[in-house]
Chain A
Amino acid sequence: MPTTMTWKEMQQAFPNEWLRVVHYELDAVGQLARGEVLYHSSSKEEVYSKPLSGQSEAFWFTGESTFSGLRSHATHHGV
Chain B
Amino acid sequence: MPHITAFDAQKHHVHLTPTVIDGDGVAHVFRAILDTGAPGSEFSDRFLQTIHLFNPAKQHAVTIPDGLQTQKHGTTTLPRLECLGQALEHLTVYVSRFDESWGIDALIGLDFFRKFRVTIDYAAGQIVTEPYGRQ
**Do A and B come together as binding partners?**
yes
A38 within 8 A of B: no
Residues of A within 8 A of B29 (CB): 24, 26, 56-59
Q: How many residues of B contact A (CB 8 A)?
A: 37
Neighbour of B28 across the interface among A44, A56, A70, CB < 8 A:
A56
Binding site for B on A (CB under 8 A): 24, 26, 28-31, 44-45, 48-49, 52, 54-61, 63-71, 73-74, 77-79
Q: Which applies to chain A's interface (DSSP): helix, strand, loop or mixed?
A: loop
B68 within 8 A of A: yes
B33 touches A79 (CB 8 A): no
A53 to chain B, nearest CB (A): 9
Query: Given contacts A56-B29, A60-B31, are A65 and B67 in contact (CB under 8 A)?
Result: no
Neighbour of B15 across the interface among A45, A52, A65, CB < 8 A:
A65
